[in-house]
């Protein structure tokens, strides 16, 4: 068989005709449910039940074999036992079916025998070009075309309203739950898909299709793991460029969770911290809970993206204002103060208001009808906030509710580039009016602020996509390098390293020390001794030529004693560097995502607190800055306890250079550990003081 061009997923989400292989006359059976749904919810294309035992199924003409249909089949739903599934798929491919939803379970999830058949299913998809969703999945629902290619019972109790949130879930149970939740919360979906075992179509394919889909404004994804990191990254990059926000619930953020995930899914998981880094890097919002994911998706769906991070908070309850301010501050929103003249206008009307931000107009808002319109105007026009949250206590349910809603909708129409959220309780009818008027509604004011922070995060990430020029291919040695070799390689890659010289005898060492300036450090140089301190291979703070010459002899003697067969390249002499902030820069290779760069401050505490950040290589300078900014101990670099601020610019340059080197070096480069990397005060640069570069040994 030759590989054909893969079909687009259009036929999966918007099929013009659907065959059901293993169709059942009983509407509650796995092969009967989708036919019942398609009929009930008004699917307008052709439906071809395939079942050799029946002439008609659910009042439709049935066919004995998919090849007997004789018409174009966009989508075949396959609901036959595992033992005959592959055969059914082959027949579908022969009938030129464009895509398949394969409900059947009993493949990779039940062991190696099933995995073998699953690989054959994947191979069939690749050679035939027929796209296969599943196996072991709950299928697809797409309300706009009346497509209910699922046997999930959730559509049986009612369908969601048509909306603009695309939902992709690797888990069927989660998908069903999320569908019901959307229905109960009155949230509209554009498409719903569960990917199951992903023999062919995977989560990235579905994301990719929804990014292009005009009906989808935001994508909510549930992920357990990903096999093809590069593909996922390409898709996330495309989403960012298209400004189509993605919200992901990715399970397994703790060790216990990761262990549970491993026992649950056969998918290679990759380190959770790296997923986290990828999501940050590509502007994906990772939600810790289902509720959070829905809050954020709903907020994009209704409110769209704001211009920026500034937030105005208006309240009639000082306390609720403080709650919102706490949330805004801890999420890094820009809660700038109102302009002086706007504050004066508020205070002129309400003497005991707080007019800065949050603006607390007190209970007077219930008696003074002009107060709310005035506040809107001052906050949206004069203060020019990108986002506005208004806490209105329970007023949404009071007789004033409809008026409050109408005002908010009018304001949103007048300032279409702002996000406006009301925190109050509303009737379902008022909720609908707010949805239609693109105004957000949250009962809990903290959740309103959190949702806005997520929107601002999307807005910022779309702006900041950087192109990074690839480094031309790097020539790597055939084996792990000595410190001197590692430093040379890094220096060639544009990473600053300390002044140093490798001496091969005591006199040369002493001369080098004199040239570099006392005091100096002396370190044994050998590709066979990576952990120099363990053998006493480092001597610090040498004050004169005599000490340096002696140190040379001492170090070579120690090395020979500890590792008689080690290749000794000499002794490295470098000046003692005073001051600066010690950092760690590193690179490692993730099994899913490839080369990853790590940054953190030096010292035991950072390790104990896991206060490091990761990014996929390569990345540009803006991303390097975000990477630096995302560690918790960030303030240390700004000058702590009176120390001067560190040279962040030099640090970010080094991270970019390291990322480009890591990306260009290829699989042979296993890891880099630059520790310490000292960042000197602003304007003075930064430099690696030591480095280990581990290279995969070529097979001889």
Using CB under 8 A, which of 241, 268, 394, 492 touches its own copies? Answer: 394
18 versus 154: smaller Cβ distance to its own copies:
154
Give the binding range for its own copies (CB under 8 A) out of 388-396, 548-556, 657-665, 667-675. 388-396
* Binding track, positions 287-316, relative to its own copies; x by CB under 8 A: -xxxx-----------------------xx
Q: Does position 195 bind its own copies by CB under 8 A?
A: no
Two structure tokens written together for 269: 């998981």
| Smallest gap from residue 608 Cβ to its own copies (A) | 5
Beta strands 359-360 and 285-286 are unpaired
Give the binding range for its own copies (CB under 8 A) out of 262-270, 413-421, 559-567, 614-622. 262-270
Q: Does position 153 bind its own copies by CB under 8 A?
A: yes
Q: Does position 533 bind its own copies by CB under 8 A?
A: no
Find the helix packing angle between 621-629 and 648-665, rounded to 10°: 110
Residue whose tokens read 């001051």: 579
Helix, strand, or coil here: 354?
A: strand
Interface of this chain with its own copies, residues 588 to 617, rule: CB under 8 A: 601, 603-609, 611
Q: Does position 579 bind its own copies by CB under 8 A?
A: no
* Binding track, positions 314-333, relative to its own copies; x by CB under 8 A: -xxxxxxxxx-xxxxxx---
Residues 6+ apart with CB under 8 A from 439: 302, 303, 405, 408, 409, 412, 420, 421, 422
Interface of this chain with its own copies, residues 397 to 456, rule: CB under 8 A: 397-398, 424-425, 443-447
C-alpha R_g of the chain: 31
187 versus 662: smaller Cβ distance to its own copies:
187
Q: Does position 154 bind its own copies by CB under 8 A?
A: yes
Are the CB atoms for 167 and 178 separated by under 8 Å? yes
Using CB under 8 A, which of 2, 5, 157, 533 touches its own copies? Answer: 157
**Torsion over CA of 180, 184, 188 and 189, rounded to 10 degrees?**
-10
Q: Does position 266 bind its own copies by CB under 8 A?
A: no
Residues 6+ apart with CB under 8 A from 316: 360, 361, 362, 363, 364, 365, 366, 391, 392, 393
Max CA pair span of the chain: 102
Interface of this chain with its own copies, residues 102 to 131, rule: CB under 8 A: 105, 109-111
48 versus 174: smaller Cβ distance to its own copies:
174
418 versus 447: smaller Cβ distance to its own copies:
447
Are the CB atoms for 142 and 216 separated by under 8 Å? no
Q: Does position 393 bind its own copies by CB under 8 A?
A: yes
Give the binding range for its own copies (CB under 8 A) out of 356-364, 429-437, 546-554, 658-666. 356-364
Residues 6+ apart with CB under 8 A from 488: none
Using CB under 8 A, which of 68, 83, 116, 173 touches its own copies? Answer: 173
Using CB under 8 A, which of 34, 139, 172, 570 touches its own copies? Answer: 172
Nearest-CA neighbor of 619 among 599, 591, 592, 641?
599
| Smallest gap from residue 425 Cβ to its own copies (A) | 5
Q: Does position 55 bind its own copies by CB under 8 A?
A: no
Residues 6+ apart with CB under 8 A from 430: 396, 401, 402, 405, 441
Q: Does position 629 bind its own copies by CB under 8 A?
A: no
Are the CB atoms for 216 and 162 separated by under 8 Å? no
* CA–CA gap between residue 661 and residue 157 (Å, rounded): 55
* CA–CA gap between residue 272 and residue 257 (Å, rounded): 10
């Amino acid at each position: 068989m030759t590989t054909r061009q893969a079909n687009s997923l259009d036929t999966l989400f918007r099929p013009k005709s659907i065959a059901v292989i293993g169709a059942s006359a009983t509407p509650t059976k796995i092969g009967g449910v989708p036919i019942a749904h398609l009929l009930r919810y008004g699917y307008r294309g052709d439906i071809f039940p395939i079942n050799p035992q029946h002439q008609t199924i659910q009042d439709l003409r049935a066919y004995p074999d998919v090849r007997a249909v004789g018409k174009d089949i966009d989508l075949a739903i396959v609901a036959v036992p595992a033992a005959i599934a592959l055969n059914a798929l082959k027949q579908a491919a022969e009938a030129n079916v464009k895509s398949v939803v394969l409900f059947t379970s009993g493949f990779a999830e039940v062991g190696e025998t099933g995995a073998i058949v699953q690989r054959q299913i994947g191979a069939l998809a690749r050679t035939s070009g027929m796209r296969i969703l599943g196996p072991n999945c709950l299928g697809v629902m797409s309300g706009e075309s009346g497509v209910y290619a699922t046997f999930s019972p959730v559509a049986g109790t009612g369908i969601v309203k048509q909306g603009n949130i695309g939902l992709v879930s690797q888990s069927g149970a989660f998908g069903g739950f999320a569908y019901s939740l959307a229905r109960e919360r009155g949230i509209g979906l554009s498409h719903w898909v569960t990917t199951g075992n992903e023999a062919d179509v995977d989560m990235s394919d579905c994301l990719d299709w929804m990014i292009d889909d005009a009906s989808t404004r935001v994508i909510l994804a549930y992920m357990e793991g990903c096999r093809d990191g590069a593909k996922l990254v390409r898709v996330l990059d495309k989403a960012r460029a298209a400004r189509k926000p993605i919200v992901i619930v990715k399970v397994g953020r703790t060790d216990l969770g990761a262990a549970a995930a491993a026992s649950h899914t056969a998918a290679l998981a990759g380190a959770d911290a790296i997923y986290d880094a990828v999501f940050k890097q590509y502007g994906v919002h990772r939600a810790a809970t289902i509720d959070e994911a829905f809050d954020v998706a709903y907020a994009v769906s209704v409110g769209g993206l704001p211009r920026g991070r500034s937030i105005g908070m208006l309240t009639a309850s000082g306390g609720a204002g403080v709650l919102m301010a706490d949330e805004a501050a801890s999420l890094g929103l820009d809660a700038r103060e109102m302009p002086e003249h706007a504050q004066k206008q508020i205070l002129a009307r309400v003497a005991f208001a707080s007019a800065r931000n949050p603006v607390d107009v007190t209970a007077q808002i219930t008696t003074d009808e002009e107060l709310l319109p005035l506040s809107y105007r001052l906050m949206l026009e004069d203060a020019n906030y990108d986002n506005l949250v208004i806490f209105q206590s329970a007023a949404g349910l009071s007789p004033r509710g409809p008026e409050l809603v109408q005002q908010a909708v009018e304001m949103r129409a007048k300032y279409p580039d702002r996000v406006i959220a009301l925190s109050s309780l509303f009737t379902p009818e008022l909720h609908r009016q707010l949805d239609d008027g693109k105004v957000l509604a949250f009962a809990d004011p903290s959740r309103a602020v959190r949702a806005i922070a997520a929107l601002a995060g999307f807005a910022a990430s779309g702006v900041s996509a950087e192109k990074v020029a690839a480094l031309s291919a790097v020539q790597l040695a055939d084996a792990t390098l000595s410190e001197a070799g590692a430093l040379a390689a890094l220096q060639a890659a544009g990473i600053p390293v300390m002044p140093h010289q490798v001496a091969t005898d005591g006199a040369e060492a002493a001369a080098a020390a004199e040239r570099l300036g006392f005091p100096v450090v002396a370190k044994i140089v050998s590709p066979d001794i990576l952990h120099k301190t363990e053998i006493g291979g480092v001597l610090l703070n040498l004050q004169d030529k005599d000490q340096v010459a002696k140190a040379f002899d001492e170090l070579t003697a120690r090395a020979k004693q500890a590792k008689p067969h080690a290749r000794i390249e000499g002794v490295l002499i470098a000046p003692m560097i005073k001051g600066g902030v010690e950092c760690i820069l590193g690179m490692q290779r993730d099994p899913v995502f490839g080369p990853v760069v790590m940054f953190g401050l030096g010292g035991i505490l950072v390790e104990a607190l896991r206060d490091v950040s990761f990014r996929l290589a390569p990345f540009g300078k803006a991303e390097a800055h975000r990477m630096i900014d995302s560690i918790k101990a960030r303030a240390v670099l700004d000058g702590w306890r009176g120390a001067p601020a560190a040279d962040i610019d030099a640090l970010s340059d080094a991270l970019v250079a390291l990322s480009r080197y890591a990306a260009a070096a290829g699989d042979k480069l296993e890891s880099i550990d630059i520790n310490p990397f000292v960042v000197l005060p602003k304007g003075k640069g930064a430099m690696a003081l030591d480095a280990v570069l581990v290279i995969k040994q070529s097979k001889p």
